[in-house]
Amino acid sequence: MKNALVEWGMPETLREFMRKIYNYAKGDAKTKIWLFPEKGFASHNIRALSIFGRYLFGLFLLFFSLQNPQLLYFLIFGFLLYAFWAFRKVYLEYRELQVLLWGPVLQITSDFAVMSGFFKGIIS
């Protein structure tokens, strides 16, 4: 239906938000949305894979900064850049300080929900 309206409903708690994102990612992985050959690396696929990539790169920097402490500066800079990106995304949407402060919290929560849900969907 072209004109169908869908109401997702806003979660009222952080836990409810995480569960909702987790279930979406799990469902996407179970239906193998990321394997459709005609879509190739569609934006949805790239976003899901980039979440894993960001955190793997961060872990890589953390691990190697034990041998080379100068790499810690790159890790800190990367984290601050990521937090700024999350602030900016929320600010551009809502332009409210109270909402702005939740940007990084929601971003990191969403990231872990997507990674764990996607992984669970693949193995189940």
The answer as to whether 7 is a domain residue is no
pLDDT digit string (tens) for the chain, length 124 residues = 567 666 777 788 999 999 999 999 898 888 877 666 566 556 566 777 889 999 999 999 999 999 999 999 999 999 999 999 888 888 888 888 887 888 889 999 999 999 999 899 888 8
The reported pLDDT for the residue numbered 4 is: 67
Alpha-carbon Rg for the chain, nearest whole angstrom, is 17
The answer as to whether 5 is a domain residue is no
The reported pLDDT for the residue numbered 32 is: 75
The answer as to whether 112 is a domain residue is yes
The pTM of this model reads 0.79
State which residues form the domain around 46.
Answer: 14-26+40-123
DSSP state string for 33-98 = GGG-TTT-S-HHHHHHHHHHHHHHHHHHHHHHHTT-TTHHHHHHHHHHHHHHHHHHHHHHHH--HH
The reported pLDDT for the residue numbered 11 is: 87
Helix (H) or strand (E) holding 122: helix 103-123
How many domains does the structure of the chain reveal? Answer: 1
CB 57 within 8 A of CB 37: no
The reported pLDDT for the residue numbered 33 is: 72
The answer as to whether 56 is a domain residue is yes
The reported pLDDT for the residue numbered 67 is: 95
The answer as to whether 20 is a domain residue is yes
Q: CB atoms < 10 A from the CB of 96, how many?
A: 11
The reported pLDDT for the residue numbered 6 is: 66
The answer as to whether 107 is a domain residue is yes
